[in-house]
Structure 1
Amino acid sequence: MSIYEWKSFSSDETKAFAEKLGERLQPGDLLTLEGDLGAGKTTFTKGLGKGLGVKRTINSPTFTIMKEYQGRFPFYHMDVYRLEDSDEDLGFEEYFEGSGVTVVEWAQFIKEFLPAERLDITINYKDDSTRLLTLQARSEHFEEICKEIIV
């Protein structure tokens, strides 16, 4: 379980980094995204979607909990912030073990449902334009991807 860090100096750099990551993902991959409001989680997800071949505009599913997009395979974008005080099983396993890639914003609110093998990403502010992305690879698969994209 290694931790990798990467600094982004603009939203365009964040998108390009996430696109490189998205190009390497496979069906069944799960990524979690944490960070303060406005840190760049949706910006990151837009780049990820581009790397997965999604053509539609990606925006935050804050009020719908999940949005589904089609690229090389299904891409599920979840924002589970509104589930903070819920212990209801909403069938997340179907997505986590399915034929697509899933990214979950605010995943700490459903941690009991998360599979062990995943890539945890935290985006932190450094200043107005700089972000520090911390990636925790929780499988050999994600270790290899992190080694490829973090130069």
Structure 2
Amino acid sequence: MTHSVTFQLADEAETVAMGCQLAELIDSGAVIYLHGDLGAGKTTLTRGIVQGFGHKGKVKSPTYTLVEPYELARENVYHFDLYRLGDPEELEYMGIRDYFSNQAVCVVEWPEKGGEFIPTPDLDITLTYVGDSREVLINSLSERGTMIVKRLYS
């Protein structure tokens, strides 16, 4: 059963805070897809998730490297940006399957470019501009994702 929730986020700080909140609700691993136009806040939300797991440094988009690993005390977080991916088969050559495990949090920007080489997400998140603010739509696509979305309500 799919659950959905929508949030209005006024600015970058609220977007980071939403990412931190998601990190607090993830017990052990998750696959998160991020959708949205360029500049919609996908990397900003990811920064919040990574910081929510305890990272203190910069969080940059891995546009050219495809993946940025964060090996943290609580969880390993892998940030993928597939925007510049030429062919989904390139993911197989880089060993993409090794990143996805039940204990890892994998955040994937531009997941539609990954084809069948990336697993179905637990959370499917779309960020869109609404005036000067952002709207974030979070859909659960698994039992794990549903548990996370339900915790957002409480």
The TM-score, its normalising length taken from structure 2, stands at: 0.88
Aligned with residue 78 of structure 2, among 76, 79, 97: 76
Instruction: Note if contact 2:31-2:120 (Cα within 8 Å) is conserved in structure 1.
Output: no
Q: Which runs of 5+ in 2 are unaligned?
A: none
The corresponding residue for 1:55 is 56
User: How far off its partner does 1:76 sit?
Assistant: 0.5
CA offset at residue 55 of structure 1?
A: 1.8
Cα deviation, residue 96, structure 1? 1.4
SS for the counterpart of 2:55 is coil
Secondary structure of the 1:104 match is: strand
Give structure 1 stretches of 5+ with no counterpart.
Answer: none
> 1:110 Cα shift?
0.8
Q: Which moved more, 1:80-89 or 1:42-51?
A: 80-89
* Contact 1:56–1:69 (Cα < 8 Å) also in 2: no
- For 1:148, the aligned partner's letter is R
In structure 1, distance between residues paired with 2:37 and 2:110: 9
**Aligned 8 A contact 1:122 1:135 in 2:** yes
Aligned residue in 1 for 2:135 = 132
RMSD value over aligned CA atoms?
1.7
Give secondary structure in 2 for the equivalent of 1:133: strand
In structure 1, the residue matched to 2:110 is: 106
Distance (whole Å) between structure 1 residues aligned to residue 10 and residue 121 of structure 2: 29
- Asked if the contact 1:21–1:145 (Cα under 8 Å) also holds between the matched residues in 2, the reply is yes
